[in-house]
């Protein structure tokens, strides 16, 4: 199985450093692959690289990406 990655948006620290600002592209979100739980709730699964998030939190990095990883079964 091969995997593809789609850029969904970005995460950055707020100016005062007390919060994370999450920006997700509206177009990417509307076109994203979704999954449904047993109770019928629909979600869009997204990931952030943990090492890059640590670098962001420590101030080594200004911004990092939010992505959606798709395997062959997730292709439209």
Please report, for the chain, how many H helices and E strands are present, in that order: 2, 5
pTM above 0.85, yes or no: no
- Give the pLDDT of the chain (76 residues) as one tens digit per residue: 457 999 999 999 998 878 999 999 999 999 999 999 999 999 999 999 999 999 999 999 999 999 999 865 444 4
Distance CA 55, CA 2 (A): 28
Which has the closest alpha carbon to 4: 70, 75, 76?
70
Tokens of 18: 């007390």
How many domains does the chain contain in total? 1
């Amino acid at each position: 199985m091969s995997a593809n990655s789609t850029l969904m948006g970005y995460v950055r620290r707020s100016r005062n450093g007390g919060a994370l600002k999450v920006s997700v592209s509206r177009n990417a979100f509307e076109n994203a692959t979704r999954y449904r739980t047993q109770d019928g709730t629909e979600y869009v699964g997204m990931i952030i690289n943990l090492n890059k998030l640590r670098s962001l939190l420590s101030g080594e990095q200004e911004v990092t990406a939010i992505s959606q990883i798709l395997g062959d079964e997730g292709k439209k």
